[in-house]
Amino acid sequence: MGNVRARLLRRRSPLARVASVVRVDHLVAAGTSNWGAYGVVAALSRLTGLELLHDPALESRVIDACVAAGAFDGVTRRREPTVDGLAADVHAEIVHLLHLAARCE
């Protein structure tokens, strides 16, 4: 978000408080960093015609495995199956929506 941080500061946006200062060649804005990465993978899936994005069930299993291994949510600071304060099923649904968006029809 370093590319737009100055603009956020001028507008006194609360987002400026948490926006990164790092500039990038291609800014990907997303609700969570995971979703931004998954969006890039979905776009690559659409461009290549290959199924590159994992499925929603795997998303939930990965989150559960992380918690079982000792991970905790970076927002809630609790060992629970959430990412950035959002339940695993929310993340699985985002993966599902990205699958729909990436379909090459």
Q: Where are the domains of the chain?
A: 1-30, 32-102
Record the tokens describing residue 77, joined without a space: 């600071």
Q: What is the pLDDT of residues 57-104, one digit of tens each?
A: 999 999 999 999 999 998 999 999 999 999 999 999 999 999 999 985
What does the pLDDT average to over 28-55? 93
The predicted structure's pLDDT at residue 69: 98
Nearest Cα neighbor of 98 from 25, 30, 19 is 30
Once rounded to an integer, what is the mean pLDDT over residues 43-60?
95
CA 46/CA 105 separation, integer angstroms: 9
Of 45, 79, 41, the C-alpha closest to 63 is 79
**Residue 40 is encoded by which pair of tokens?**
């890039």
Looking at the predicted structure, is the pLDDT value of residue 15 above 70?
yes
